Structures are given as structure tokens and as C-alpha cells.
Amino acid sequence: MRYLALCSDYDGTLAHHGQLDEPTIAALEKFRAAGRKLVMVTGRELDDLQTVCPRLDLFELVVAENGALLYWPKTGKEQTLGERPPDSFVATLRRRGVERISVGRVIVATWEPHENTVLETIRDLGLELQVIFNKGAVMVLPAGVNKGSGLRAALAELNISPHNTIGIGDAENDHALLSHCECGVAVANALASLKERADIVTRNDHGAGVAELIEAVLRDDLASHEAQLVRHHVALGTTRTGDTVRISPYGINALVVGTSGGGKSSVAVGLVERLRKQGYSFCIVDPEGDYDNVDATVVIGGPAHVPTLEECAQLVSRADTDVVVNLLGLKLNDRPAFFLSLFARLRDIRARTGRPHVLIVDEAHHVLPANWEPAQSGLPQQLDGVLLVSVTPNLIAQPILRAVDTLIVLGDKPRVSLKEFAAANDSEPPAIEQSALDPGTALLWNRKGPAGPVWIQLEPSHTERRRHLRKYAEGELPVDRSFFFRGREGKLKLRAHNLILFMDLADGVDDDTWLFHLHRGEISEWIRTAIKDHALADQIAAAERRQPADADASRQEVRKLIESIYTLPASPG
């Protein structure tokens, strides 16, 4: 189950003229009966809402006052999410002729055309408040409080990720609601600006539009709308034409293969970085202890500790926890059985919480080996949200290969990998031009798609970028890519095979030699052609064009430019 919660506005969405009709109530009941949760997100004050809506009992939580108040219908518990404006604010509004004012637990609201008076009063009293508009209503709230912030608090209470929610609304104040959800929906009667931002627009208006959406969710979890739900997809790389190739974290079903040193781990690490950046949760199964240093993860298991299923389940169930399961403490022969038990446990947790959104299995041949034949019923039949990493397809159990849709090939034997994967799926391997792939590139093949393998330049990870920077700062470039300080008369031959040595030599050569190379534009040219950092080269070229006469000042300028990107030792003295 992908979408666990429907988060809906009330007026203009669920309700028409403030009232819920019977077909809408029936649709909401059907949604709840399917094991999913309902959250109402409304600008109304709670007392008013309780008067007009007879079925608040259908909702797990109500976010009222445009994000400023949580209300639990089952218990009657309330929780404010901000501080109400001071009484002096309301009194001043009344003195200035604003008569239609309502005051909630936190919110203060009035109507147009009093918005200018409201803004002037906020300014004159020096208050940190914001104004939110909603079809003629003028709502005053603490800064940063809106439907999105209120929903964030509600989902935390429910232990549900925003990536497992659908938001639906109709008005200006629903932008924050829709943007916070994995899928944002506008009913047919919504404002044009909201429809433009929405992932889906219903054919029907008001409650009928909500009922239409519920039917679509219960039918296929919005799988038929997947082409519209791309704003949260994660970048994998770019094609030769510059098009970005993205993958759906929820639907990823891929095997990454390649020879040692081909960059498989970089693909996984880069994916992890981008998943975290977008708020997706993940679990990494790590047979060889290669992921113990992944930032902001909890590692369980190790050479001296065998992870337990209970430990894994407890950690993965937490909304704010990404987990690495280190299998070094398990014997090789015990790893497949442990993994299948873990996979079953994770599948149950995902059905309840939607997490982990992605399961990454490194060195997958350790846990799903080709020569292992468990009961067929024990093997996973579907791999949605799973990324496997191995050396070659032939090392993986054939039933797993048949469940994989996408192959990502790196390294110097792409034809072999494609042939093995195709054979496992009783098909012919696609023809490709490449006999080997350069580092940082891959072939992406969806065997169920109409096209053949696509060449992509992989999106580098930050870890890979740091390694790349260290290579140029500390590594050793070949002679033909090194910089040589030769001087005006060519008497010197001082070789700099990295940036650290370049600046060390620059500090040691005489002023005339330094200025000779600088004025000739040779430093920026070396950065451009050997280091291949065009942005830095452009910055140094700008300094060169000024033809500075002060050698020490220009050395320091070049050093600072380089150090803004590459880590170098501190300047001497």
C-alpha cells in the first residue's frame, strides 16, 4: 500500500456550502474500511467546524485554523501549534473599523476588503505575523504556520511519511497542503492557480471529486497516474542529449551490476544521498560492512554482533530513522535465510507505515545467491522499492532476476551482463555499441519498455565529488597533465602533479616566474584542461586578465580561489 492517508480541505473540497453530502460520506467510510486514514486540513476554527460537520469521527486527526491547531475527534484532545496574536492586535483592528473579526485558539480572521488595515496593524504594532488569503477570508497566523506545517505535525503524530499521503484542496491556502504531500490533487472547482500546481485534477467538483479520487486510490493506489507523479522522482543521470533520467523511489525495481571498480557503490551512495535530501526513508542490507559510515544512519550488526529481526523492525518503524543492517556477524550460509525473514518483516512494516520507501541490498549475491534454492514461496514475488547491487546477473537467484524490471550496467563487460539478464528472462539480449563503459557512465535497460538500453552519465554522489576533489588536490596527475614552472627563460622545470604541490611551488618560485605564467594565462589554462574545472578556470582567468604587478597578492588571490573548492594546506606564515 503506497498511499496511507488522504489529507483533505473541508470547504469547497469535501463540503459544498459547508455541508457534507451522503455520497461523500460513503466514499470516506469506504476509504477508512480499506485500512487507510483520513486527515482533515481546514482553515475553519474548531468550534465552527464542530457545528457544521457531523462526521468528524471519520477523521484520525483534524488540522484546524489553517495549521495552527490539532484536534483528535476520538478523544477530544486539542494541541495548539502556535501562539495567538496579542489582544492588543484585535483591539486595534476594531478601533480601525474592522468589525467582522473571529478569534480562534490561535487564528484571527476577518474578510476582504480589510486586508490593508490588517497588514498596517501588523506593521504598526511590530508583530511577527503573516496573512493568508482564502477566497475572500483574511487569516492572521504566527509566521511559518500554514496548512503544510500543521499537516507535518499531524503526520508525525500518526507516524506517516508525507511521501505516503495525498492532499486535496480547492483554494489559495491549499498550496502548502498539496506541496507537502506526495500527490497533490485539485478538485474541478479549484482555483486555476491550484490546478496548475496540482499533480492531478479531478473531473468532478467538491465532494464528488474527492469520491472520484478515493475510487482511483482503492482501484490501483494511483498506479495508473504514475506518469503525472514525477515531481518527487530522484535523478539517476543524464542522456547524451542532456535529458535527466529519473526514477520513482516507490516503484524502483532494479539491479545494478558491474565489474569491480566500475562504480556500483557510487550509484547506491548517490541514490541514498538524494533519497535523504527528498525525505524518503531507506534501509541498506550490507553484507560486507561497506556502509557503516553513511551519514545520519543507524547501523545495527557488525563483526561481533548479529542483528536481530526485532532490532531491525523497531528501528525501521521509526519515522525519522534510516537503517544499515550489517551482516558481517552472520555466517555466509545463514545470510539468505536471514534476509528472506527480514524482507518479510520489512514488507509488513511497509504495509502499515509505508516505510522503508527503498530497500538497498548491496552484494545481493550474498543473500540471494544463484546456487540457493529455498522453497519458491519464500522468495519475494515483487520488488517494488528495491535496488539490488551485484557483480553480474548470473550470481543472483533466477527467480529474483525474473522479478527485476530494470538493469543498470557499469564497467567493462556490459554485453555479458545484458546477455545474462536476458537469458534469465527467456529473451534475446539487446544489441549495443559499447564493449566497455567509461567510469561514471552506465547503460539503463528496462526489459519491459519499448526502447533498448539507454546510455547515461551518472549523477555523481557528494562522496564521489569529494573523492574527485581529493584526487586533484592530493593525487598524482600524469606528466602530460601536470603544470611546469619553467620561468621566463625556460631554465626551470618544476613539476606540479596536483594542486597542493602547485601552490607549494608557487609560494617558492621567484616573483618574476610566478607573474610570467600568470600573465600568459597558463594557470587558468591548466585548470581548464588538466583539472577540468571550468568555473574555477574562469575565475582565475579574470585575475590573469588584470595583469597584476603584485606577485604576493596575486598568489594569495589564486590560493583563495582554489581553496574555495579544494582542500589545501594553510598558507605558510
Quick check: helix, strand or coil at residue 278? coil
The answer on pLDDT for 61 being more than 80 is yes
At residue 470, the pLDDT reads 57
* Cis previous bond, 356, omega within 30: yes
Between β-strands 282-286 and 358-361, what pairing exists: parallel, antiparallel or unpaired? Answer: parallel
The answer on pLDDT for 518 being more than 60 is yes
Sign, CA dihedral 257-262-265-268, equals: negative
State the Cα–Cα distance between residues 136 and 116, nearest whole angstrom: 13
At residue 379, the pLDDT reads 64
At residue 572, the pLDDT reads 43
pLDDT tens column, 280-318? 999 999 998 888 777 789 999 998 899 999 999 999 988
Question: Phi then psi for 131, rounded to 5 degrees?
Answer: -115, 130
Q: What is the DSSP letter of 315?
A: H
At residue 422, the pLDDT reads 94
| Residues 38-43, mean pLDDT to the nearest whole number | 97
Higher per-residue confidence, 250 vs 313: 313
State the Cα–Cα distance between residues 460 and 238, nearest whole angstrom: 11
Q: What is the DSSP letter of 10?
A: T
| Residues 527-535, mean pLDDT to the nearest whole number | 79
State the Cα–Cα distance between residues 486 and 188, nearest whole angstrom: 73
pLDDT tens column, 166-176? 999 999 999 99
pLDDT tens column, 97-153? 998 999 999 999 999 999 999 999 999 999 999 999 988 899 999 999 999 999 999
| Residues 456-472, mean pLDDT to the nearest whole number | 65
Mean pLDDT estimate for the chain:
90
**Percent of the chain's residues with pLDDT above 70:** 94
The helix (run of H) or strand (run of E) holding residue 467 is helix 462-474
State the Cα–Cα distance between residues 388 and 255, nearest whole angstrom: 5
pLDDT tens column, 379-430? 666 778 999 999 999 999 998 999 999 999 998 889 999 999 999 999 999 9
State the Cα–Cα distance between residues 459 and 238, nearest whole angstrom: 7
Question: Phi then psi for 258, rounded to 5 degrees?
Answer: 170, 160
Rounded to two decimals, the pTM is 0.76
Question: Which has the minimum average pLDDT: 31-35, 304-308, 470-474?
Answer: 470-474
pLDDT tens column, 328-353? 999 999 999 999 999 999 999 988 88
Quick check: helix, strand or coil at residue 190? coil
State the Cα–Cα distance between residues 354 and 356, nearest whole angstrom: 6
Instruction: Quickly list H helices, 494-547.
Output: 499-508, 511-519, 522-526, 534-545
At residue 351, the pLDDT reads 86
Residue-by-residue DSSP string for 360-401: EETTGGGTSBTT----GGGS-S--TTEEEEES-GGGB-HHHH
Sign, CA dihedral 200-202-205-206, equals: negative
At residue 465, the pLDDT reads 53
At residue 438, the pLDDT reads 85
Residue type, 145: V
Per the rule left: phi > 0, alpha: psi between -120 and 50, beta: everything else, 242 is left
Residue type, 478: P
Residue type, 419: K
All domains of the chain in start order, with CATH = 1-78+145-230 (3.40.50.1000), 82-144 (3.90.1070.10), 234-460 (3.40.50.300), 463-563 (no CATH)
Confidence of residue 573 (pLDDT cuts 50, 70, 90): very low
The answer on pLDDT for 571 being more than 50 is no
| Residues 504-521, mean pLDDT to the nearest whole number | 93
At 194, list the grid cell: 491550484
